[in-house]
Amino acid sequence: MKKLFILLCAILSLQSLWAQIVPKPQSENYSGGKFTITDKSCLVYDSSVRDVALYALEYMPFKQILSSSKVMPGDIQLTINRLLDEEQYRLTVTDKNITIAGGGYAGVFNGVQTLLQLLPANVFSKDAKFPLTVPCCTIDDSPKFSYRGFMLDVARTWIPTDKVKRYIDLMAYLKLNKLHFHLTDDEGWRIEIKSHPELATIGGFRGGDSPVFPRYGKFYEKWGGYYTQQELKDIVAYAAQRNIEVIPEIDMPGHSKALGAIYPEILCNYTPDGSRTNGLEIRNVWCAAKESNYSLIEDIIREVSEIFTSDYIHIGGDEVNMSQWRKCPDCQRLKAEKGLQNEKQIEDYFIARTTEILTKYGKKPAVWNEAIEGGTLPTTTRVHGWASIKKCLEATSKGYPTIIMPGHYFYFDMKQSASETGHNWAAIFDAKKVLSFNFESQGFTVAHLKSVAGIEASFFSEIYIAEHPEKSDYLDYMLFPRLTALSEVAWSHSRRSWEEFYSALKSAHYSRMDAMEVTYRLETPTVNYSNGAITASTTDGSTIYYIDLTSGKQSRYTKPITTTKPYNYEFYSRRGTGISKRTGSKEYYARLKPAVTVSSSIPCSSKTPMTNAAKYNNSIVRTTRAAKAGDWIEYRFAAPLHCREIEAMTGHIHLRRCCMMKGYIEVSYDGSNFVKVADFDVAGATIKPTEAIRALRIVATTTSDAEDQIVIQSLKIK
């Protein structure tokens, strides 16, 4: 029995070691015993992987690193084994030495990442001290996909160079190897082009005196930034040391409003109707017929090609408003002259011309999935399948090398639960759903899989700007642990179950993220109200806190809270640098839904009638024009309304867009006379009525944002 007990303990110990490495390796064998790295240990490396050695030196304070083939007892060796694939590695730990052999630079780097995860978590804070012990083991590992990516959108919300490098580090820890860098869009141009410096110096900023109109947040200041070519070269080199390829995206022919604000001559040859937009220009598509546009594109691509070492430049091709080409006499003339069947083939023509320029400078095109719908792009074009699984299947079935990144699994700007911030057009999901992605169950056959080039997650940053990006940890919270789960899907040949993966997070990986100061998302506490008391609990070892909403005081939760007003309490938990969302009991979320009639001075679209705003089910109303000073929205209740609080907002429910910009809220207590109760600056306001009201109005005092509509929501009433 004693021997059996010892054996069971040994097995459990080995299982705890297996749980430490994320993503899960292909093969692990722990033999017992340990190796100790001391201040006398030397890091010995092949000359071709010197940069890996320098990287390792940031985490392990060796007194000596040496380019040599001679290894002494106590040393750690980084070496190339050409019998292995480029990213494959073998980590061997004996009681005398550690050897990391990789098929190439990438394999050795991957092996170093695994070694770091076998060390105490504080190594990731870069202040570890020797001695450090490592379990004796042999780990043979290689990735399932050669493309394991993350797309970071810096166009909608500016992210400075140091933060970009931080996310490169966080990708490297997880063996992700492609940074898809979304540098341009409607909202900003973030890359210096020396032949056209105004693209960045003007297009890198919006609001204030910039011709680029503000959007999503920071409406009343000139705000933004851009990367100089030298900064981008530094980012590329920094990423390359960490086995990450940076793939730039210059989004066109659509998503080019910022560019059009600087160079209106790139737009199509017609005068747009400004009556819906208060005269503001909202066109965002390059004219496909102007030869001067292709000269400008060549100037841009020539310089982008000199900065980035990637074989690919992503040129967009998504969400092109082709009505602009239909209205353009030049584009229609081009269509007739070239025998193009429809506007989709105008886009094919534009992309083919752009591809010729890419080829001239030694680059290949990558595009979003819409770009292949014209049917004429060659299958050498790499496709990023974002819109749906169906679109990914269509691309792979046509033989296009395809990056799988459908929004309802891999768009990390999506909400993680119904009551959190984020988009919701694709899905609401957390790390558990990311880990559940399965090719076979999604309809991918063997033939489809032959064209799957890899997997990518993304973060489009519309919402980030409203979360105070200069000081917010919102991006961390949205990415982790979802990006950790993505790494397992992209790397591991046989991934763990959710239960095993979640155990690895709690037992080991949370501690690493603490050391890296990552504000990762914890599971939401469970909150219940019963018999006059609120109780809260978690399953992840985190500490629970509560907020008394009447006073704003925060306290540690230690016992049930006795109250007759459970809606006045919010709860959240913390563990290390992790934090959960704020939550409450079902009474906290309860809403009143009184019968109401909604009307407005602005006509609504026939597709979204005004009755939508009376349904209390997240239906919205879209108007047929933007708001002007004096426009109003009225909510008239069927009976006097008694309530604690009313949130009256315009714009999308999840996003500061299509809003009344400034105005006030007024209410009527008798149904006839109105009195102003609150001002607002962007979207709307929350009021706390002291008596029953019969009607409420939102009144604009300025024009709305740079859209051709506003969005009317239901009231949120408590």
- What is the residue extent of each domain of the chain? 2-141, 147-515, 526-589, 596-717
Mean pLDDT of 545-569: 97
Domain 147-515 matching CATH 3.40.630.10: the answer reads no
Q: In percent, how much of the chain has pLDDT > 70? A: 97
Q: In degrees to the nearest 10, what's the CA dihedral of 533, 538, 541, 547? A: -50
**For residue range 624-650, what is the model confidence (pLDDT) as tens digits?**
999 999 999 999 999 999 999 999 999
**For residue range 107-116, what is the model confidence (pLDDT) as tens digits?**
999 999 999 9
* Calpha distance 82→590 (Å, rounded): 63
Give the domain 2-141 fold.
Chitobiase; domain 2 (3.30.379)
3 state DSSP class of 313: strand
pLDDT at residue 482 tops 60: yes
Angle at 84 between CA 81 and CA 85, to 5 degrees: 125
Of 699, 690, 647, 646, the residue nearest 669 (C-alpha): 690
* Calpha distance 258→83 (Å, rounded): 50
Q: 599 phi and psi, to 5 degrees?
A: -140, 165
**For residue range 129-147, what is the model confidence (pLDDT) as tens digits?**
999 999 999 999 999 999 9
pLDDT at residue 270 tops 80: yes
Q: What is the pTM of this model?
A: 0.95
> Which CATH number is 526-589's, of 1.50.10.10, 2.60.40.10, 3.20.20.70, 3.20.20.120?
2.60.40.10
509 to each of 56, 191, 298, 641, how far by Cα in Å?
Answer: 19, 35, 46, 50
Of 312, 255, 263, 246, the residue nearest 284 (C-alpha): 255
688 to each of 46, 105, 678, 691, how far by Cα in Å?
Answer: 69, 62, 10, 9
pLDDT at residue 3 tops 80: no
Say which amino acid occupies 606: S
Question: Per the structure block, which two tokens stand in for 473?
Answer: 């940890």
* Calpha distance 386→398 (Å, rounded): 16
582 confidence band (pLDDT: 50, 70, 90):
very high
706 confidence band (pLDDT: 50, 70, 90):
confident
Give the domain 596-717 fold.
Jelly Rolls (2.60.120)
9 confidence band (pLDDT: 50, 70, 90):
very low
pLDDT at residue 433 tops 50: yes
In this prediction, residue 5 carries a pLDDT of 41
Mean pLDDT of 430-443: 97
Average pLDDT score over the chain: 95
